[in-house]
Structures are given as structure tokens and as C-alpha cells.
Amino acid sequence: MAEGLRVAVGGATGNVGTEMLRILEQRGFPAAEVIPLASAGSAGRRVPFRGAELAVQDLGGFDFRGTDLLLLSTGAANARETAPRAAAAGCVVIDNSSAFRMDPALPLLVPEVNPAALAGWAARRILPVANCSTIQLVLALKPLHDAAGLKRVVVSTYQSASGGGRRLMQRLLSPHDPVTVDMRALLHEAQLATTAGGDPPLPFNVVPQIDVFLEDGRTREEWKMEAETRKILGLPDLPVSATCVRVPVLVGHAEAVVAELDRPLPEAAARALLDAAPGIVVVDERRPGGYAMPIAVAGTDEVFVSRLREDRAFPHGLAFWVVADNVRKGAALTAVQIAEALLRRGDAFAGRGAA
């Protein structure tokens, strides 16, 4: 192994940043130095890495000169300022926000799906990571498209609280004791909060809104899923219809998908294709519990496909269920996998860290 890289992790105290540090360590990423970065308010905190504790530095004031790689997980507004600044200093930026995903000059890469897109890494030295719900969807769609062509996709999501950050997770982890709580009083309290125009309660509820509404009635999360799926698969005219729902689950996004194909693809053949696809695990037994669920996949790296069956609403239709850990595979792991793919190319870091 040649000289390791100097790697910065932006947003290192958040859900995704914490997971990035864990994954860098677990996968033995060739980093000679890892620098955790966060907001000025978090500077000075310490985070664990490789048996030691690293001091968090201020992201806003950090000088990226001499840094090879920035794994960035902040909001889009921060990313629009930080990513170009780091790239101008010679750093390669892998950004988990939505800031650059639909920039036509930049590739939107999911390594198992469109690895050839990595050739565009040098456009501005910024590589956006797709939306968490999109990543697991395109992993399942890719082998079906390669075999029989995609004609249209309809997807409904069941997205966990972790997708909304730690504050939403805390709202879900209510202090109420489920054994002794007066359910009628709790529900009345939630109804009052909703009527008053506040954020809808998540415990004991499902919320059919993620992100803001657009003029056409979709939410921004739904638009992101539709637009990113087309970009990643290289199918600009593919009809994709998404309905995105927040559910009272801590970690793990689930999706109910119907894909209409151009050509017939028997269920058994689709199952075999998915089972052989990189990053996919098929868990599909027609019995209680014989399917993937968020509670069972938390902390895993794969995308799980279950409930595969022929759909009767569309010609050549397949229906299936897709589940993945949205913090890990849907964000942190995919960012690290992109960095690993850059290492294998050998041109992004001038040979540093390459085998």
C-alpha cells in the first residue's frame, strides 16, 4: 500500500458523519490522517476512531490545502459553500447533500449501478451522493432494466425518522411509557398539534410529506427520487411516480415498488437476476417474517428485496419490496464506496493510497 490519504469528514458529529467514521475504520480505508469537522459549536468535541479520540475542528474555518478527500454530510446550503472551497484547494469532495445531484456537469454515481459515471469525477472535483431512498431503488431496478427494459416505475416509500436527523429521532423516542400512557389523551394532544399547524406528530402516525411541497403537488423528496432515478439509470424519459411517507421507525427505509418492463420477465428469472446483483440480498419466503423489515436490516450494508411477484395492473409488471439502512447504505457507506472506486481508478489522488 502506498502512502495513505489525508481525509476530512464534514458533519462528523451527525448521524451520517458518525457512521462515515465507523465505516472508514471498519473497511480499512487507507487514511494516514482523518480530520473530523463540524460546526463551530461542535468544535473541540471528541469522536472515536481507531481506538483513539479525535478532536473535532471547525468546518467553516478549515483550510483544505493538503487534504486529499472530503466526505461531506451537512445541509445543502452549507455544502454549496464548503464543497467548491474544498475542491478549489485541490480536495476531492464526496457530498451527501442534495446541493449538486442534478447538476448536469456532475455525475450522480451509485457504484454498483453506474460505475462508468465515475469518469466524470474531475469535472469540478465534486461527486454528489444520491438520495438515500433513490440509492436502494436503483440497485433493485438496474438488473431488471438490463434484462427487460424499464417502461415505468411507481414507488411508495416508508421512510424512517433517521432520514430527518437526530431531532426527529428524539421526537419519535417519546418519554411516554406505552404501558401506562393514556392513549386517548396522547392522541388528542397530537391532534391539537396538527390542527395548530405545527409539525405532524410521528409516534403512532404516518406522515405523507417529506420535505417541502412543490407547485405541482409533489414534495421535493418525491421530485428528487424521480429525477435522480432517471439520471443514475441514464433514462431521461422514464416515467417515475413516487409517494414518500415518513413512518414511526428509527432506522431503515422501505419501499413498495411496481416496475413495468418493456419485455416479459418471469418472476423466477427476476429473482435469479436480483439474487446475483451486486449489493442485493433477496429475502423472500412466503411465510410470516419471511421478508426484510427495517428493524432487521439496521446496521447492514446490503439492499434487501422481498415480496417479489408478478404485478397484474401493468403488462410485464413486477412488484417487490425494498429495504435498506438509510444512514449506512443510503448515505455513509455509498460515499465511502465512491471514494474506494476513486482509489481503484488511480487518477483522482495522483496514486496516493492506491495499491
- The domain spans of the chain are 5-129+331-345, 133-160+206-324
Output the pLDDT for position 203. 86
Across the chain, what does the average pLDDT equal? 93
Region 159-183: mean pLDDT is 78
Judge contact between 302 and 325, C-beta under 8 A: no
Q: Quickly state the pLDDT bin for 184 (edges 50, 70, 90).
A: low
Fold of 5-129+331-345: Rossmann fold (3.40.50)
Range with the poorest average pLDDT among 23-27, 35-39, 196-200, 211-215: 196-200
Region 193-220: mean pLDDT is 88
Same fold, 5-129+331-345 and 133-160+206-324: no
* Known catalytic residue at 91: no
Flag whether 120 is marked binding. no
Flag whether 6 is marked binding. no
Task: Return the CATH class of domain 133-160+206-324.
Answer: alpha beta
pLDDT at 354 over 60: no
Region 262-288: mean pLDDT is 98
Q: Quickly state the pLDDT bin for 1 (edges 50, 70, 90).
A: very low
Flag whether 101 is marked binding. yes
pLDDT at 96 over 80: yes
Given 91, 132, 145, 244, the catalytic residue: 132
Flag whether 13 is marked binding. yes
Flag whether 163 is marked binding. yes
Flag whether 131 is marked binding. no
Given 91, 145, 244, 253, the catalytic residue: 253
* Known catalytic residue at 244: no
Output the pLDDT for position 112. 98
Flag whether 159 is marked binding. yes
pLDDT at 46 over 50: yes
Q: Quickly state the pLDDT bin for 326 (edges 50, 70, 90).
A: very high
Output the pLDDT for position 189. 66
Region 68-94: mean pLDDT is 97
Region 292-308: mean pLDDT is 97
pLDDT at 179 over 80: no
Output the pLDDT for position 176. 57
For 319, list phi and psi in degrees, rounded to 5: -115, 145
Output the pLDDT for position 170. 87
Q: Which residue has the cell 459515471?
A: 117
Q: Quickly state the pLDDT bin for 355 (edges 50, 70, 90).
A: very low
Write the pLDDT tens digit of every residue in 14-36.
999 999 999 999 999 999 999 99
Flag whether 15 is marked binding. yes
